[in-house]
């Protein structure tokens, strides 16, 4: 049992100070470390639970002062707290300060005493979500990264260094901890798939809109239409919290694909049931912020083709498209705008004949010459869009700028 007077003092005077820390080192984290520390302490004979509790309570108290050296600052705060002399001897306070100084997993030497080993292991999260939140919050405050992509890259590199196959957090297992072992397996799996890491990092930190904005802001408009529509896209994202689902009655983000063959002489078009004419494949984001993945999936679902992104999977075209009111699956859908993000995708010549029709969406799928993507068979308002896209394909092809 923890001394009641000690517990009351710490809860009243110490734990309240964690409101100054970032969320990753705030009160919820401290309570988590306290509970895990006491769990490990029960495995050790003749351990002083008051010391264990106090070490865990003080271990991050200096984080708001200097995150990089917080273990040393936290130890000094504990040593300078004269109230603790009511509960501990000078020798015990020194042991406790050493444990706090040694608690960081990144430190090369092992903790100098059993108390340091307890809090060091207790300080390790066993859930991926808080880890991703902590690394983001830390970089928002302390990183020189200028873009979200740079922040995610820094976070990824840090976590690989910490939890990768040679990561320092894999070592120094002072107690049997099945939860932490399972966590290490899970985070290594995530780190081995960088695309999945990006997706989870963005979702956990609610960065979908920021990610989309950054992608759009980087895009260089091809003509006046795209320049104006780009600003419309950004205004749409700034105006609404939910831009990725069909719940937004004013507009929907869609991801589309201009699919070309290896010779760049043909493109794939579908005869859309609702729009009543030919258009390039595509569909709604429906909650997915990785619009390139949406575009690839839509091509495969609508036509059966496997496709490869060109120009590094960057955005190839933007257009705000008018959608008339219509009935879909027995329900009326009001007129709205499709904020369409289009990607240039490649189908191998050997696969060109492996196409099929998704009858719930389209009545026909076919390959046509590039210029025929904007002939009289096309949906009327898609013709100028497709003409623009074909011009851009020809410019890129002429300059040799189309690359996988």
Are 337 and 285 within 8 A, CB to CB?
Answer: no
| Token couple for 162 | 């910490």
Residue whose C-alpha is closest to residue 255's, from 300, 293, 303: 293
Distance CA 216, CA 316 (A): 11
| Token couple for 320 | 């705000």
Q: What is the pTM of this model?
A: 0.77
Distance CA 97, CA 72 (A): 8
> Reduced to 3 states, what is the DSSP secondary structure of residue 35?
helix
Instruction: For 109-127, give one letter per residue: b (16+ CB within 10 A) or e.
Output: eebeebbbbbbbbbbbbbe
Distance CA 77, CA 65 (A): 11
pLDDT at 402: 64
Question: Euclidean distance between the first and final Cα of the chain, in Å?
Answer: 64
For 325, residues 6+ apart whose C-beta sits below 8 A from its C-beta are 332, 333, 334, 335
Distance CA 334, CA 343 (A): 27
Give, in order, the Cα–Cα distances in Å from 212 to each of 21, 129, 190, 233, 276. Answer: 30, 21, 22, 10, 30
> Which residues of the chain carry a pLDDT beneath 50?
none
In whole angstroms, what separates CA 21 from the centre of its chain?
Answer: 23
Q: What is the pLDDT of residues 326-359, one digit of tens each?
A: 888 888 989 999 999 999 999 999 999 999 998 8
| Inter-helix orientation angle 194-204/128-142, to 10° | 80
| Token couple for 337 | 């705008």
> Reduced to 3 states, what is the DSSP secondary structure of residue 264?
coil
For 221, residues 6+ apart whose C-beta sits below 8 A from its C-beta are 227, 229, 230, 318
Distance CA 55, CA 58 (A): 5
Q: What is the pLDDT of residues 265-275, one digit of tens each?
A: 999 999 988 88
| Token couple for 296 | 């690839």
Q: What is the pLDDT of residues 91-119, one digit of tens each?
A: 999 999 999 999 987 777 889 999 999 99
Q: Residue 56 burial (CB < 10 Å; 0-12/13-18/19+)?
A: buried
pLDDT at 403: 57
| Domains of the chain (ranges, CATH numbers) | 4-204 (1.10.3210), 223-399 (3.90.79.10)
Give, in order, the Cα–Cα distances in Å from 358 to each of 32, 96, 257. Answer: 51, 68, 16
> Reduced to 3 states, what is the DSSP secondary structure of residue 357?
coil
Taking residue 288's Cβ as centre, other Cβ atoms within 10 Å add up to 17
pLDDT at 401: 64
Are 345 and 307 within 8 A, CB to CB?
Answer: yes
Strand partners, 338: 252, 321
Q: What is the pLDDT of residues 236-278, one digit of tens each?
A: 999 998 999 989 989 999 999 999 999 899 999 999 888 889 9
> Reduced to 3 states, what is the DSSP secondary structure of residue 315?
coil
Residue whose C-alpha is closest to residue 58's, from 110, 125, 106, 13: 13
């Amino acid at each position: 049992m923890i001394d009641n007077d000690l517990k009351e003092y710490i809860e009243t005077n110490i734990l309240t100070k964690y409101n100054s820390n970032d969320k990753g080192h705030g009160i919820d984290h401290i309570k988590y470390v306290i509970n895990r520390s006491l769990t490990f302490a029960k495995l050790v004979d003749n351990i002083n639970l008051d010391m264990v509790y106090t070490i865990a309570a003080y271990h991050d108290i200096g984080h708001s002062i200097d995150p990089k050296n917080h273990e040393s600052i936290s130890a000094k705060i504990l040593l300078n707290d004269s109230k603790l002399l009511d509960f501990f001897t000078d020798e015990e306070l020194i042991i406790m300060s050493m444990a706090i100084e040694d608690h960081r997993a990144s430190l090369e030497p092992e903790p100098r005493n059993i108390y340091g080993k307890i809090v060091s292991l207790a300080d390790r999260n066993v859930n991926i979500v808080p880890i991703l939140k902590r690394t983001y919050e830390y970089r928002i405050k302390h990183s020189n990264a200028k873009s979200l992509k740079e922040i995610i890259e820094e976070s990824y590199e840090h976590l690989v260094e910490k939890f990768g196959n040679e990561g320092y957090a894999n070592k120094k297992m002072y107690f049997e901890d099945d939860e932490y072992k399972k966590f290490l397996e899970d985070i290594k799996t995530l780190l081995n798939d960088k695309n999945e890491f990006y997706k989870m990092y963005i979702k956990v930190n609610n960065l979908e809109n920021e990610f989309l904005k950054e992608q759009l802001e980087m895009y260089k408009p091809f003509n006046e239409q795209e320049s104006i529509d780009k600003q419309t896209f950004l205004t749409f994202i700034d105006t609404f919290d939910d831009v990725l689902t069909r719940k937004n009655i004013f507009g929907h983000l869609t991801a589309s694909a201009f699919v070309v063959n290896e010779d760049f002489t043909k493109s794939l078009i579908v005869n859309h049931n609702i729009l009543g004419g030919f258009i390039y494949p595509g569909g709604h984001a429906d909650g997915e912020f990785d619009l390139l993945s949406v575009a690839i999936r839509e091509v495969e679902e609508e036509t059966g083709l496997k496709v490869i992104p060109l120009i590094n999977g960057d955005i190839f075209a933007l257009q705000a498209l008018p959608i008339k009111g219509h009935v879909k699956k027995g329900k009326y859908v009001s007129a709205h705008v499709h904020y369409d993000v289009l990607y240039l995708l490649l189908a191998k010549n050997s696969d060109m004949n492996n196409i099929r029709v998704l009858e719930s969406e389209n009545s026909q799928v076919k390959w046509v010459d590039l210029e025929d993507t904007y002939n009289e068979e096309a949906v009327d308002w898609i013709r100028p869009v497709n003409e623009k896209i074909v011009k851009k394909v020809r410019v890129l092809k002429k300059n040799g700028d189309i690359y996988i």
